[in-house]
C-alpha cells in the first residue's frame, strides 16, 4: 500500500475522532477542558458533524478505490 494512502487513512481517522470531540463539546456531553470556549456552543455541533462526515467519506473513498 502506498505511503500516501496510509497517511490519508490516518488523517481521515483523526478527522472523524476530532469531529466527534467537537460534537461532544458543543452538546456539553464532553466538557473537557472545563475552560474550553466550545462547551455548550451549538455551532460546534455542526462543525463537528461536517468534519466527521468528511473523514468518513474520505475513508469510504479510500476503501472503495483499491
Range 46-57 average pLDDT = 97
Predicted confidence band of residue 32 (pLDDT cuts 50, 70, 90): confident
User: For residue 28, how many other CB atoms are within 10 A of its CB?
Assistant: 13
Nearest residue to 15 via CA among 49, 39, 63? 49
13 pLDDT exceeds 80?
Answer: yes
- How much is the mean pLDDT over the chain? 92
Computed over its alpha carbons, how large is the radius of gyration of the chain? 14
Report the pLDDT averaged over residues 37-51.
94
- Mean pLDDT over 30-56 rounds to 92
Q: Cβ(55)–Cβ(14) under 8 Å?
A: yes
What are the residue boundaries of the structural domains of the chain, listed by start?
9-64
The percentage of residues in the chain with a pLDDT greater than 90, rounded to a whole number, is: 73
Amino acid at each position: 500500500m502506498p505511503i500516501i494512502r496510509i497517511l490519508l487513512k490516518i488523517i481521515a481517522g483523526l478527522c472523524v475522532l476530532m469531529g466527534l470531540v467537537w460534537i461532544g463539546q458543543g452538546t456539553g456531553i464532553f466538557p473537557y477542558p472545563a475552560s474550553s470556549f466550545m462547551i455548550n456552543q451549538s455551532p460546534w455541533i455542526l462543525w463537528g458533524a461536517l468534519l466527521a462526515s468528511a473523514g468518513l467519506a474520505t475513508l469510504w473513498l479510500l476503501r472503495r478505490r483499491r
